Amino acid sequence: MISDQMRNTQATKTAVNRHGGMQQGSVTKYRAFPPIELPERQWPSRSITTAPTWCSVDLRDGNQALPIPMSVEEKLKLFDLLVSVGFKEIEVGFPSASQIEFDFIRRLVDENRIPDDVTVQVITQAREDLIRRTFESIQGMKKVIIHLYNSTSPAQRRLVFGLDKAGIIDIATRGTQLIKDLVPTIPETQVIFQYSPESFALTEIDFSLEICEAVVDIWQPTPEAKIILNLPETVQIATPNIYADQIEWFCRHMRHRESAIISLHTHNDRGTGVATTELGLMAGAERVEGTLFGNGERTGNVDIITVALNMYMQGINPLLNFGDIDAIRAVYEECTRMQVPVRHPYSGELVFTAFSGSHQDAIQKGMAAWDGAPDAVWEVPYLPIDPKDIGRTYEAIIRINSQSGKGGVAYVMENEFGFQLPKAMRVEFGKIINAIADVRGDELTPQQIYDAFEHEYLQRTSPFSLEAFHAEKAGASSPDEVVCRARVILNGELYELSGSGNGPIDAFVRALNQASLANFTVRSYTEHSLNHGSDARAVAYLQIETPSGRTFFGAAIATNIEQASIKAVLNAVNRVQATMG
């Protein structure tokens, strides 16, 4: 007989075969991108030491990727955010693509919304009608980058345009010449020209150089008035080192390199957009185009926040301020209707959170050791940067579920509520919290952890409760001895006790044991203040051991430390009684 599991497996295979599925055996459907011939490449031994020029393309590339494109008002709000973060170059749209794009750009100009130290960028394909419409949109700007592009890859040449290399070069050079001819029609505007061979990473490297140099020959840039050559990895097709080789090869072989700014524009199809950008900078690029949180077509553009904060955690000023990452994320999500994943680098809700017990313990110890001085080196395990630097708080660093350990529980109790649990008590309470989390099956909030602590250690009022306690020195004949008198209720019956010992706790324990109401010894005792001032309270932690060798902690809070310690004794004894009952 065929089992249900086998039937389901066969049905799945049939469905996969019917609808396609991955090629098995030798994969002939795809070809590896050929490596670049680059003897003695230099980029592997270089480091990033300074921030590049950043250009946000959120308002164009990011906007095009949205199921519901942003309205003019949403684009204005996002533009203001980008300015506040510190972007000095912002691509504001494709003015010939739609009326909304055009109207947005006109709002920026007509309402004088572009700061003097910010240069906006507009993009256009290499078509005459689109170029002329673009010039209409930028009338009155003080400074603008005009970004011209056309596609150059073999597949695009063959399948989309039906042109040879010469025909593709002609598209680029005619577009460049038209822009150059139109620049005098806007004499009040400083124009910077940017050209992109749009499918650079998929194009033969020598042809990419050929078409870019043809454009440079027409534009005639100088070291004082440079052209921007944007070399996109519009679709990722190889490992990041291949793109770095392409960039270094291009920079090595380009004529008039001193008159060009080499710019990167990487996507994330292979999930390596950040790595590709970083290696491209090591290979000689000086400028990066990208988006907040990596929003963009398909799997997205490079995430500028991640690249910038990667630099920051290496001790490099990224020249962008992400000091309130939560506010930035809120505006981004409002304007784009996209959500930042909880595990997104630096920005996600859970990236500064540790659930693992060993991680929690290491974080707690690292936080305790770091002195917080402005010049102190950050060395907290598992946290690559100080969350405070980007506006996050320490409160959510450690959160507790069934995977958590004693270190995380202790961290929450100390940082949220001020309790400095003794080491052995951390183990005991950690097991209690794990058991609760196992039953619940989800995360415990700090308040739930405190409630469990209060229930387990502070509110043990039966079978013992304390009605009165008084202790005093025994007298001159025994200066180190303390005598106590106590009134204790056990199961509703009042007992008057007395005892002596080397302190109030010892005297009280002896009184209980001598009255045969309990039988235990004290293993450890600690105390500390919970707050300061006239209403300061103290907390006492006490561990007892029964004749069988079992240990139990008790804790208590009071404005008088003596009262707290005596109540902690009874709370510990009550926990013993609870296990026996």
- pLDDT over threshold 90, residue 364: no
Going by pLDDT thresholds of 50, 70 and 90, the confidence category of residue 2 is low
| C-alpha dihedral sign at 215, 218, 219, 221 | positive
Q: Does the annotation place 110 within a ligand binding site?
A: no
In a domain, 2, yes or no: no
pLDDT score for 68: 92
**Whole-number Cα distances in Å, 322 to 18, 35, 309, 391:** 49, 37, 8, 8
The per-residue pLDDT for range 289-301, each reduced to its tens digit, is 999 999 998 999 9
Between CA 373 and CA 379 the distance in angstroms is: 13
Confidence band of 1 (pLDDT split at 50, 70, 90): very low
Q: Is residue 59 part of a domain?
A: yes
pLDDT at 496 over 90: yes
pLDDT higher than threshold 70 for residue 122: yes
Average pLDDT over residues 461-481: 88
CATH code for the domain of 232: 3.20.20.70
Is residue 345 in some structural domain? no
Neighbours of 222 (CB within 10 A): 10
Quote the domain boundaries for residue 437: 357-372+380-446
Task: For Cα atoms 302, 307, 312, give the angle at the middle one, nearest 5 degrees.
Answer: 165
> Among residues 401, 417, 446, which one ends one of the domains?
446
Q: Tell me the C-alpha distance between 328 and 30, whole Å.
A: 40
Structure tokens at 457: 């250690």
Higher-confidence position of 356 and 469: 469
Tell me, yes or no, whether 364 and 297 share the same domain: no
> What percentage of residues in the chain have a pLDDT greater than 90?
80
Instruction: Look at residue 410 and tell me if it is in a domain.
Output: yes
Region 451-471 average pLDDT: 94
DSSP string, 251-279: HHH-TTGGGEEEEEEEB-TTS-HHHHHHH
Specify whether 309 is located in the same domain as 392.
no
SS3 (DSSP) at 305: helix
Compute, in degrees rounded to 10, the torsion defined by CA atoms 238, 240, 246, 247: 150
- Is position 459 within any domain? no
Q: Assign 517 to helix, strand or coil.
A: coil
In the predicted model, what is the mean pLDDT of residues 513-540? 88
- Say which range, 119-123, 143-147, 339-343, 413-417, has the weakest mean pLDDT: 413-417
Helical ranges in 441-489 per DSSP H: 446-453
Query: What is the arithmetic mean of pLDDT over 107-134?
Result: 97
| Peptide linkage before 463 cis (omega within 30 of 0) | yes
pLDDT at 156: 94
Residue 391 DSSP class:
T
Model confidence at 508, in pLDDT bands (50, 70, 90)? very high
* 8-state DSSP, 35: P
Same domain, yes or no: 314 and 386: no
Residues 98 and 216 in one domain: yes
Return the sign of the alpha-carbon dihedral for residues 43, 47, 49, 52: positive
**What's the CA gap between 425 and 313, in Å, rounded?**
36
Q: 265 among the known binding-site residues?
A: yes
Judged by average pLDDT, the poorest of 136-140, 319-323, 369-373, 449-453 is 369-373
Q: 558 is written with which tokens?
A: 């009071």
**CATH code of the domain covering residue 546:** 3.30.160.270
Query: In whole angstroms, what is the distance from residue 20 CA to residue 14 CA?
Result: 10
Q: Share the mean pLDDT of the chain.
A: 92
Domain co-membership, 261 together with 312: yes
Is the pTM higher than 0.85? The answer reads: no
Q: Euclidean distance between the first and final Cα of the chain, in Å?
A: 55
Q: Are residues 271 and 413 in the same domain?
A: no
The answer to whether 99 and 133 have CB atoms below 8 angstroms apart is no
Cα–Cα distance measured from residue 291 to residue 283, given in angstroms and rounded to the nearest whole number? 21
155 CB contacts (<8 Å, ≥6 apart)? 199, 202
- 502: helix, coil or strand? coil
Residue 454 lies in a domain: no
- The verdict on residue 282 lying in a domain is yes
Q: What is the pLDDT of residue 5?
A: 58
Rounded to whole angstroms, the Cα distance separating 158 from 307 reads: 35
What local confidence, expressed as pLDDT, does residue 532 receive?
64
Contact 528/538 with Cβ under 8 angstroms? yes
Kindly state the average pLDDT of the residues 318-326.
97
Nearest CA-CA partner of 395 in 384, 406, 387, 404:
387
Q: What is the pLDDT of residues 143-191, one digit of tens each?
A: 999 999 999 999 999 999 999 999 999 999 999 999 999 999 999 999 9
pLDDT in tens, 7-65: 555 555 555 555 679 999 999 999 998 999 999 999 999 999 999 999 999 999 999 99
Residues 284 and 408 placed together within one structural domain of the fold: no
**More confident: 137 or 441:** 137
Residue 249's nearest CA partner among 204, 302, 197, 214 is 204
285 and 409 share one domain:
no
Q: 433 and 300 in one domain?
A: no
Q: Looking at the structure, do residues 402 and 510 belong to the same domain, yes or no? A: no
Q: Which of 446, 475, 493 is the last residue of a domain?
A: 446
Beta strands 227-233 and 464-473 are unpaired
Half-sphere exposure of 184 (CA within 13 A, CB side): 3
Q: What is the pLDDT of residues 61-93, one digit of tens each?
A: 999 999 999 999 999 999 999 999 999 999 999
> Where among 416, 446, 476 does a domain terminate?
446
Are residues 390 and 493 both part of a single domain? no
Tell me, what DSSP letter sits at residue 239? -
Q: Say how many domains are in the chain.
A: 3
Say whether 267 counts as a known binding-site residue.
Answer: yes
46 located within any domain: no
Any binding-site annotation on 19?
Answer: no
DSSP secondary structure string, 535-564? T--EEEEEEEE-TTS-EEEEEEEESSHHHH
Mean pLDDT of 380-404: 80
> Does residue 452 or residue 374 have the better pLDDT?
452
Considering the domain architecture, whether residues 416 and 479 belong to the same structural domain is answered as no
> What is the side-by-side strand order in the sheet with 551-558?
521-529, 538-545, 551-558
475-494 pLDDT per residue, tens: 777 788 999 999 999 999 99
What integer is the mean pLDDT of 208-223? 98
Q: What is the largest CA-CA distance in the chain?
A: 112
